[in-house]
Amino acid sequence: MFGQEAANQPVAPDQELPAGWFQKVGANWIYFDNVMIGEGWANRADGWFENFTAMSQVDKLTFFNVRTGSRHGFSYTNMDTIDQIGRPFRLESFGIRLNYPDPNVSGQHTMQVAAAKFFTTALVEHCYLEFFIRDDQWFTLKPQMCPSGYGAIGFFNYNGVTPSSSHLITNGQSHSLNRWRWLDNGIKIPETSQIRLTMTFSEYGKQMLQELGTVNPLDGVSEEPFPNVANIEVSIRGRRYSQMRGKYYK
């Protein structure tokens, strides 16, 4: 439960409060989760893939109820558990971004450039997203309708001097307000609720993934190319409610 909804209002020192009552306050918070695609990644976490061909063979990609930060790394998710959200949460915005790193010199490596553009600009036209709180569906959207608002835009492009981002794609401008936002006061999610997001590709989208095949390695200065990895990152932003520090009442 959300505790006191008027959590930001001060409590009078002489106010009678039930035993065990505590005041919950909201703090800015983002939950995020990633699906990684690349050589050697399938064995690192559930729901990750060795290549795009393997990803094309599943019915849906699933986020938020598959991986946890403590088990799979906080670089890729910060979910506490897979069966319920850890604390009461007021959901205010959602975003997604697709990333295929492509450092290249003067456009020489056309395979990487083409694959990066294909993954981040064309594929997003042939899939859709569904978000659930418990068993309630809260939206059905296409990726470009909900830009991330954070991070790099599209794939990285190296022009021989400095790296730069080369496309807008599902990120839009890197601005925190450039996201799918709920009107009014957002959605209240109780702390015992499971949340999940699914990403489903059309048959044409699955064919595109099969054409992509593997994730191309990055060309570096060493004799061996550096293994590359693509990723799909989703994030929800809002207020996470917890006990006010130093404000426990008996």
Cα separations (Å) of 189 from 85, 86, 130, 233?
8, 10, 16, 21
pLDDT for residue 7 is more than 60 = no
- Asked whether the beta carbons of 85 and 196 are under 8 A apart, the reply is no
The torsion angle over the Cα atoms of residues 84, 86, 91 and 97, rounded to 10 degrees, is -80
**Nearest Cα to 231, choosing from 140, 145, 154, 172?**
154
- The CA distance from 156 to 158, in Å, is 7
**Nearest Cα to 109, choosing from 35, 215, 218, 189?**
218
> What confidence tens digit (pLDDT) does each residue in 26-63 have?
889 999 999 999 999 999 999 999 999 999 999 999 99
- Asked whether the beta carbons of 27 and 15 are under 8 A apart, the reply is no
- The CA distance from 6 to 216, in Å, is 52
- Asked whether the beta carbons of 235 and 30 are under 8 A apart, the reply is yes
Radius of gyration (C-alpha) of the chain in whole angstroms: 21
- The CA distance from 82 to 120, in Å, is 28
Rounded to two decimals, the pTM is 0.81
Read off the pLDDT band of 4 (50, 70, 90).
very low
Torsions phi, psi of 52, nearest 5?
A: -70, -30
* pLDDT at residue number 226: 79
Helix (H, G, I), strand (E, B) or coil at 84: coil
Burial zone of 144 (CB within 10 Å; 0-12 exposed, 13-18 middle, 19+ buried)? middle
Cα separations (Å) of 9 from 5, 24, 245?
9, 11, 15
Per-residue pLDDT, averaged over 203-221, amounts to 88
* pLDDT at residue number 6: 41
127-133 β-sheet, strand order = 61-63, 195-201, 127-133, 136-141
> What confidence tens digit (pLDDT) does each residue in 87-107 have?
899 999 999 999 888 655 444
* pLDDT at residue number 90: 94
